[in-house]
């Protein structure tokens, strides 16, 4: 009985060991692709590692980094936010919140970025890169109200500028429309000219064919007339010849 128990334990050990090795293999593969900046294939490898072990912190964290590098900040935020609720290690939390702050900053969400950097510093107060990013986010936050909420004295000027901009845009649109219309008319005239030239060529060809036909008919008529005249001449000549014969050989009367 003990033998069967220990055999079962060994089988489970080798089973989990094999799966752990496969997980590590996919993570190493993903890391290689990440180093080569092939982030799509890195994501694919990390996802395979998670299929084997859904609790793999390294695969999950590196997936967030890969989506960040790929420019998919929403997806990166999704992964880092999930990890921030599953980890207890201060070092891991500092890394997670730092990268979460970077993702929010890239996504122009300054309040969330500032909050994330502060959470990172709670877990690792001396981290200089997080302090620098927090200062940058705060600086952007200070500048933001100046852009979004100008002081009241400038409201009228801004409205006037806006009106001028709209007027300029309308004038530009009208000019562009006129230019487009002129181009259309030019193309239309060019097409009509081509059509007229084509029709003129057709008419010239018809006229030429007609003239050629008329010339042929006239020539035929002249030939026929000449033939008739020749025939008449032959007939007259023959009649004259016969008349001379009659005059030369008189028939004697039979008394």
pLDDT tens string 117-144: 999 999 999 999 999 999 999 999 998 7
CB of 73 closer than 8 Å to CB of 100: no
Task: Name the residue ranges covered by the structural domains of the chain.
Answer: 9-70, 91-149, 203-242
Look at residues 125, 124, 105 and name the one whose alpha carbon lies nearest to residue 115: 105
CB of 73 closer than 8 Å to CB of 106: yes
| DSSP-derived 3-state class of residue 228 | helix
Q: How much is the pLDDT for 62? A: 96
Pick out the chain residues at pLDDT < 50: 5-16, 147, 149-157, 216, 246, 248-255
Q: Do domains 9-70 and 91-149 have the same CATH topology?
A: yes
C-alpha 26/C-alpha 93 separation (Å) is 24
Q: How much is the pLDDT for 14? A: 40
Helical spans, DSSP H, in the chain? 2-35, 39-52, 57-70, 73-84, 90-106, 110-123, 128-148, 155-248
C-alpha 191/C-alpha 71 separation (Å) is 50
Q: Which residues contact 139 (CB under 8 A, 6 or more apart)?
A: none
In this structure, how many other beta carbons lie within 10 angstroms of the beta carbon of residue 52?
A: 18
C-alpha 90/C-alpha 184 separation (Å) is 70
Tell me the CATH architecture of domain 91-149: Alpha Horseshoe (1.25)
Q: How much is the pLDDT for 224? A: 60
C-alpha 137/C-alpha 120 separation (Å) is 14
Q: How much is the pLDDT for 209? A: 64
CB of 27 closer than 8 Å to CB of 50: no
Q: How much is the pLDDT for 15? A: 41
Which tokens belong to 179?
A: 């230019």
Residue written as tokens 């080569």?
Answer: 36
The CATH homologous superfamily of the domain defined by 9-70 = Tetratricopeptide repeat domain (1.25.40.10)
112 to 41, 57, 105, 108, 131: CA distances (angstroms): 30, 23, 8, 9, 15
C-alpha 96/C-alpha 100 separation (Å) is 6
C-alpha 143/C-alpha 164 separation (Å) is 26
Q: How much is the pLDDT for 245? A: 56
pLDDT in tens, 82-108: 999 999 999 999 999 999 999 999 999
């Amino acid at each position: 009985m003990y033998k069967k128990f220990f055999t079962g334990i060994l089988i489970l050990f080798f089973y989990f060991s094999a799966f752990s090795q496969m997980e590590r293999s996919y993570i190493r593969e993903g890391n290689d692709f990440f180093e080569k900046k092939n982030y799509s294939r890195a994501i694919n490898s990390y996802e395979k590692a998670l299929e084997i072990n859904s609790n793999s912190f390294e695969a999950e964290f590196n997936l967030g980094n890969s989506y960040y590098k790929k420019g998919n900040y929403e997806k990166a935020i999704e992964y880092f936010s999930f990890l921030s609720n599953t980890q207890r290690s201060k070092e891991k939390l500092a890394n997670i919140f730092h990268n979460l702050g970077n993702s929010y900053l890239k996504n122009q969400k300054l309040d969330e970025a500032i909050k994330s950097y502060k959470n990172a510093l709670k877990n690792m107060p001396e981290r200089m890169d997080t302090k620098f990013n927090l200062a940058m986010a705060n600086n952007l936050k200070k500048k933001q109200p100046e852009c979004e909420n100008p002081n009241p004295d400038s409201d009228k000027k801004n409205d006037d500028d806006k009106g001028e901009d709209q007027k300029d845009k309308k004038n530009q649109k009208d000019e562009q429309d006129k230019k487009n219309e002129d181009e259309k008319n030019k193309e239309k005239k060019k097409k009509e000219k081509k059509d007229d030239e084509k029709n003129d060529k057709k008419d010239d060809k018809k006229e030429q064919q007609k003239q050629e036909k008329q010339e042929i008919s006239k020539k035929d008529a002249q030939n026929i007339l000449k033939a008739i005249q020749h025939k008449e001449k032959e007939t007259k000549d023959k009649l004259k010849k016969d008349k001379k014969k009659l005059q030369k050989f008189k028939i004697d009367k039979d008394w």
